[in-house]
Amino acid sequence: MLSLGNASSIPPRLPTLSSVLRTLRDSRVPQLPSVQFTLVCLSYRGYWTSRGRASEKGIRRDAEAALRWISQSHAETYSESDQAPKPTVLLWGQSIGSGVATNLAASGSLQQLLEVGGLILETPFLSVRDMLEVLYPQKWLPYRHLWPFLRNQLDSWKNLGVIAELSKASGRSPPHILILEAGKDELVPAEQGERLLQRCIEVGLSVEKTAVRGAYHNESTTRAAGRKAVAEFILQQTNRHLESTPPR
């Protein structure tokens, strides 16, 4: 799993991510073979202890570098003689990180390294442009009209269409999508998650949506219902991957 969360909140999210792994461990079903789960958390340039200046282009390169690192680490751990199945990666983005996750899945440049089996989009929004209109709805303010000059788009609505097209062109199964909403999200309107759900259905992507009741924007996976939803989704995709991967 590659966590592409709200980068500025990486330190407080670490305990949350650990609790999801514990829920995942406790949710194991007898039919699931022993599987190693590795969670990689990315600290983008310009955030936390990372140097540099944040930009959509730079963050995309950081995410691609993380995916290469995962692929290389797996290759060093397992030799051709091992019975370990080919690895799959789930891209997990929270808030703005959801746009980074869909950007990475839509790039297609690293699909030959690892199979992207699924995307966890936690409290996602459609795009920076759409959020600009949400945050500044007043028509007399210029902000909502400045989207052509935005340097960062993070357009998940567009990316979902690209992901579907890439899957068709390559003949590979498209990644499955989990949209995890906060029931009392004070930042992203519920309508954004619903439109992403309809977009997935429109382009033929397998999708499910869960709302965590009573949760605010940064609380979806701090609550038991959210942790359970993520853990169950990870187990589902793991089973699906193992069933479709022939033994070496």
pLDDT digits (tens, 9 = 90+) for 219-240: 999 999 999 999 999 989 988 8
Contacts (Cβ under 8 Å, ≥6 apart) of 99: 93, 124, 125, 127, 128, 153, 154, 155, 156, 159
Q: Which two tokens stand for residue 140?
A: 């007399």
Q: What is the pLDDT of residue 28?
A: 62
Backbone angles phi, psi at 185, to 5 degrees: -55, 120
Give kind and range of the element (H or E) at residue 198. helix 190-203
Q: What angle do CA 200, 202, 205 make, to 5 degrees?
A: 40
Under-70 pLDDT residues of the chain: 1-12, 27-34, 48, 78-86, 109-112, 138-152, 245-248
pLDDT digits (tens, 9 = 90+) for 28-72: 665 565 677 888 888 778 776 777 777 788 888 888 888 888 888
Query: What pTM does this model have?
Result: 0.86
CA–CA separation, 210 and 191 (whole Å) = 13
Topology at the third CATH level for domain 2-28+36-77+84-244: Rossmann fold (3.40.50)
Task: Write down the domain spans for the chain.
Answer: 2-28+36-77+84-244
Backbone angles phi, psi at 187, to 5 degrees: -115, -50
Q: What is the pLDDT of residue 77?
A: 72
